[in-house]
A and B are shown apart, each in its own frame.
Chain A
Amino acid sequence: MPIELFTRVEDKLFNNRYLVDTGRPHIKVRPHAKPSPQLLSMLKACPARCYELSEDGQVEATVDGCIECGTCRIICEESGDIEWSYPRGGYGVLFKFG
Chain B
Amino acid sequence: MIEERFDAIVVGAGMAGNAAALTMAEGGMKVLQLERGEYSGSKNVQGAILYADMLEKLVPDFREDAPLERHLVEQRFWMMDDRSHTGLHYRSEDFNEEKPNRYTIIRAQFDKWFSQKVREAGATVLCETTVTDLVRDDSGKVIGVKTDRRDGEIHGDIVVLAEGVNGMLGTRAGLRERPKPEKVALAVKEMHFLPRETIEARFNLRGDEGVVIEAVGTISRGMTGMGFIYANKECISLGIGCLVADFQRTGETPYGLLDRFKRHPSVAPLIEGSEVKEYSAHLIPEGGFKAIPQLYGKGWVVIGDAAQLNNTIHREGSNLAMTSGRIAAEAILKIKSRAQPMIPQNLALYKKMLDESFVIKDLRKYKDMPALMHTRSQNFFLTYPQLVSKAMQNFVRVDGTPKIDKEKLTLKSFTNARSRSGLFGDAFRLVRAWR
Contacts and interface: CB of A to CB of B under 8 A. Distances in A.
B251 A67 contact: no
Nearest to B251: A44
A86 to B, nearest CB: 5
Q: How big is chain A's contact interface, by range?
A: 35 or more
Interface string B262-281: 11000010011111111111
Interface in B163-198: 165-166, 168, 178-181, 184, 186, 188, 190-191
A84 B130 CA distance: 14
Given A2-B272, A98-B44, A69 B129 contact: no
A54 to B, nearest CB: 19
Interface in B117-134: 127-130, 132
Contacts of A19: 38
Given A71-B244, A90-B128, A97 B273 contact: no
Interface in B230-263: 235, 237, 244, 247-248, 251-255, 259, 262-263
A90 B107 CA distance: 18
Contact of A44 (B37, B252, B262): B252
A65 to B, nearest CB: 10
A25 interface: no
Given A70-B283, A95-B43, A89 B127 contact: yes
A33 interface: no
A7 B272 CA distance: 14
Nearest to B130: A89
A82 interface: no
Contacts of A13: 279
A74 B36 contact: no
Contacts of A56: none
B45 interface: yes
B190 A45 contact: no
A92 to B, nearest CB: 8
Contacts of B178: 73-74, 77-78
A47 B107 CA distance: 20
A15 B276 CA distance: 8
B191 A68 contact: no
A85 B168 contact: yes
A75 B181 contact: yes
A48 interface: yes
A29 B248 CA distance: 18
B253 A45 contact: yes
A93 B43 contact: yes
Q: How would you classify the secondary structure of chain A's contact residues: helix, strand, loop or mixed?
A: loop
A31 B165 CA distance: 28
Contacts of A69: 166, 186, 281-283
Given A45-B253, A96-B108, A6 B186 contact: no
B149 interface: yes
B280 A67 contact: yes
Nearest to A45: B247
Contacts of A77: 178
A53 interface: no
A69 B340 CA distance: 39
Nearest to A71: B186
Nearest to B179: A74
Nearest to B253: A44
Contacts of A48: 281
Given A15-B276, A74-B283, A6 B165 contact: no
Given A70-B283, A94-B37, A98-B106, A12 B255 contact: yes
Interface string A16-55: 1001000000000000000000100100110111000000
Given A47-B254, A69-B186, A71-B283, 10 more contacts: A6-B259, A15-B278, A16-B280, A41-B251, A70-B283, A74-B181, A88-B130, A93-B280, A95-B107, A97-B191
28 contacts: A5-B268, A5-B276, A6-B262, A7-B276, A41-B251, A47-B188, A69-B166, A69-B281, A70-B166, A70-B283, A71-B244, A73-B168, A74-B178, A74-B179, A74-B184, A78-B178, A85-B132, A86-B168, A90-B36, A90-B37, A90-B127, A94-B42, A95-B45, A97-B106, A97-B108, A97-B277, A97-B278, A98-B278
Task: State the 8 A-B residue pairs at the shortest beta-carbon distance, nearest first.
Answer: A90-B128, A70-B166, A98-B107, A12-B279, A98-B108, A69-B281, A47-B281, A89-B128
